[in-house]
């Protein structure tokens, strides 16, 4: 039996034939015509109501993306909160918190410029009157005015940028997760000047990544975090990798204290990962690149952040809860400074002006995060919502 398949136009009245196609003739005419036939049947198989609802849904999505531009003027001291968003969702955002009035404005980059920030905002660096936002999975660095958040330019041509630090107005370093190099860039011309090779071919896993940057004398130290256990030492006069220091697995955060000692927080790798071991904190002499102390932590993969106060003598870190110790202590604390309760603590920030402690709760990594602000007496003086996965604080 030969069946005629009819392609039809939906017009809310009587359905009208366009043409009829014999199924066996389609096979004889070739696969191209058959595919057209299948596609047409799929397209026109929806009833009028479903089709209209789909159009309305798509149209509403398009309208949501057309955000109005808002003007800002934030001359007061404040705090940028970088919200990385979800990988491949393009929902990274930037929040701004006014400390004096305890008000927060979310998605300020989008509101000030009418365009989304991009996919995974990793970090933010302020130099003079410009804030540089490193957008990891978008492979770019946006420049905005620190007071009105208006777009000033961007640096592109990067693979998976992570952090940015300045040597001078015309030279800065940009680390990268996948490129196996560190970029030197000229922010004044928004161009890449050179690359520093940090690749290794003798390892099982894909290495070296590069992350945070700390300068001490003529050396730059960076942690190679992803599936690695190295601190890389760069000579800033020659822009060459001159040494590596082995620490616990996956060194996540690095800071420098007042005695020029480098402290490294290692998360030990992820749970159920083939690359997993002890988490810990390591103290390194920046003069001879030798390890002075290694402390083991209790909660592997929950060790998410570490910061030092403005005076450079007190370190705070997250190991499920928040802990605090002096840089001259010989042991890590056994009692938490602030108990996390049921919060999923993710990032720390210490206000250089009054030492207030800012803590982010990433909750489930899918919904808006929450920020808690504590004073020196450990009293929570404010709480506010920001974007998805708040990963860092930058004080203006």
Could you give the CA distance from residue 28 to residue 19 in angstroms, rounded to a whole number?
A: 18
Of 137, 180, 186, 197, nearest in space to 164 by CA: 186
Q: Which residue has the tokens 């009418």?
A: 114
Residue 274: its pLDDT value, please?
79
Could you give the CA distance from residue 147 to residue 144 in angstroms, rounded to a whole number?
A: 9
DSSP state of 69: P
Strands (E), 84-136: 93-98, 103-105, 121-127, 130-135
The tens-digit pLDDT sequence of the chain (396 residues) is 333 333 333 333 333 333 333 333 333 333 333 333 334 344 334 333 433 333 333 333 433 343 558 999 998 899 999 999 999 999 999 999 999 999 999 999 999 999 999 999 999 999 999 999 999 999 999 999 999 999 999 999 999 999 999 999 999 999 999 998 999 999 999 999 999 999 876 555 556 789 999 999 999 999 999 889 999 999 999 999 999 999 999 999 999 999 999 999 999 987 777 788 889 999 999 999 999 999 999 765 578 999 999 999 999 999 999 999 999 999 999 999 999 999 999 999 999 999 999 999 999 999 999 999 999 999 999 999 999 999 999 999
Cis peptide before 208 (omega within 30 of 0): yes
Residue 62: Cβ-neighbour burial (10 angstroms; 0-12, 13-18, 19+): exposed
Q: Measured on CA atoms in the order 93, 98, 99, 102, is the torsion positive or negative?
A: negative
**Residue 25 is encoded by which pair of tokens?**
């003739």
**Residue 116 is encoded by which pair of tokens?**
């989304």
Write down the domain spans for the chain: 4-65, 78-395
Residue 385: its pLDDT value, please?
98
Could you give the CA distance from residue 13 to residue 6 in angstroms, rounded to a whole number?
A: 17
**Residue 230 is encoded by which pair of tokens?**
């190295």
Q: Measured on CA atoms in the order 332, 334, 339, 342, is the torsion positive or negative?
A: positive
Compute the C-alpha angle 153/157/162, nearest 5°: 85
Q: Where are the alpha helices (DSSP H) in 45-153?
A: 48-65, 108-113
**Residue 37 is encoded by which pair of tokens?**
């036939």
Superfamily of domain covering 78-395: YVTN repeat-like/Quinoprotein amine dehydrogenase (2.130.10.10)
Q: Which residue has the tokens 């800065």?
A: 172
Instruction: Enumerate the β-bridge partners of residue 373.
Output: 358, 382
């Amino acid at each position: 039996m030969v069946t005629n398949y009819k392609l039809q136009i939906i017009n809310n009245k009587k359905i009208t034939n366009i043409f009829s196609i014999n199924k066996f003739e389609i096979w004889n005419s070739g696969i191209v015509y058959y595919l057209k036939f299948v596609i047409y049947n799929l397209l026109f198989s929806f009833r009028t109501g479903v089709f209209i609802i789909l159009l309305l849904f798509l149209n509403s999505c398009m309208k949501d993306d057309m955000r109005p531009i808002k003007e800002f003027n934030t001359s007061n001291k404040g705090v940028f909160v970088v919200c990385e968003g979800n990988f491949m969702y393009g929902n990274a955002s930037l929040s701004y918190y006014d400390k004096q009035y305890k008000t927060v404005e979310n998605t300020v980059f989008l509101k000030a410029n009418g365009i989304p920030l991009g996919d995974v905002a990793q970090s933010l660096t302020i130099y003079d009157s410009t804030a540089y936002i490193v957008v990891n999975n978008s492979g770019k660095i946006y420049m905005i005015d620190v007071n009105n958040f208006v777009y000033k330019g961007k640096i592109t041509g990067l693979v998976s940028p992570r952090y940015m630090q300045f040597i001078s107005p015309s030279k800065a370093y940009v680390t990268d997760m996948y490129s196996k190099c560190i970029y030197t860039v000229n922010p004044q011309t928004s161009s890449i000047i050179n690359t520093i090779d940090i690749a290794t071919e003798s390892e099982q896993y894909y290495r070296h990544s590069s992350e945070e940057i700390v300068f001490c004398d003529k050396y730059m130290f960076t942690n190679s975090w992803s599936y690695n256990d190295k601190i890389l030492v760069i000579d800033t006069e020659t822009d060459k990798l001159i040494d590596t220091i082995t620490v616990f697995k996956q060194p996540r955060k690095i800071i420098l204290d007042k005695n020029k000692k480098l402290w490294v927080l290692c998360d030990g790798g992820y749970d159920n990962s083939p690359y997993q071991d002890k988490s810990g904190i390591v103290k390194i002499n920046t003069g001879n690149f030798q390890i002075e102390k290694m402390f083991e932590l209790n909660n592997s993969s929950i060790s998410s952040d570490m910061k030092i106060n403005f005076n450079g003598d007190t370190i705070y870190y997250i190991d499920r809860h928040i802990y605090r110790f002096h840089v001259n202590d010989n042991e890590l604390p056994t009692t938490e400074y602030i108990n996390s309760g049921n919060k999923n603590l993710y990032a720390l920030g210490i206000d250089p002006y009054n030492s207030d402690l800012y803590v982010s709760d990433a909750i489930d990594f899918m919904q808006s995060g929450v920020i808690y602000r504590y004073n020196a007496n450990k009293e929570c003086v404010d709480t506010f919502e920001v974007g998805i996965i708040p990963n860092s604080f930058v004080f203006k």
